[in-house]
Amino acid sequence: MDSEALFIRDVTAWAQSLDEIAALALVGSYARHQARPGSDIDLILICHDTGDFLDDVSWVTHFGKVKSQKIEDWGIVTSIRVFYSDGKEVEFGVAPLKWADLPVDLGTHRVVTDGMMILDDKRGILKRLVEAVSRSNLNDV
């Protein structure tokens, strides 16, 4: 198993152990199985309270030694872009439950259609979201 797969496995196990995280998904090139060397790992954490993960971001050190990090605001999603000392670049998108609400927001629709792999879904919200997106087209959003 390569280091990226191990990293994703570790994040998944961590998310599964926390009730505060309702769901976790891998998105982007890794979810599409099109990652190239140097591709970042994109994860979406659907949280009951985003403040639990944004007010103190020290939890990112659980997955490796952090070289640098920065916060990016994408509207409803706040990303913590982490550069680990082993060379991995990981974007942890922290989103509230309403990110997965129906009807599907255009930005959420794009993320899902661009490739999403559900890693943890305690309440079935991502499964419902993916099903809704697969039944829709952009004219319905």
Q: What is the pLDDT of residues 89-103, one digit of tens each?
A: 999 999 999 999 999
Residue 94: helix, strand or coil by DSSP?
A: strand
Residue with tokens 């496995």: 9
pTM (two decimals): 0.93
pLDDT over 80 (residue 140): no
Q: What contacts 112, CB < 8 A, 6 or more positions away? A: 27, 104, 129, 130, 133
The pLDDT of residue 136: 82
pLDDT over 50 (residue 18): yes
Q: What contacts 141, CB < 8 A, 6 or more positions away? A: 103, 104, 105, 106, 109
pLDDT over 50 (residue 1): yes
The pLDDT of residue 20: 97
pLDDT over 60 (residue 74): yes
Share of the chain above pLDDT 90, in %: 90
Q: What is the CATH number of domain 3-140?
A: 3.30.460.10
Provide the pLDDT confidence category of residue 137 given band limits of 50, 70 and 90. low
Residue 137: helix, strand or coil by DSSP?
A: coil
The pLDDT of residue 141: 47
Bridge partner list, 27: 42, 116
Which residue in 27, 31, 29, 45 sits closest to 93, CA to CA? 45
For residue range 23-33, list pLDDT tens digits in order: 999 999 999 99
Share of the chain above pLDDT 70, in %: 96
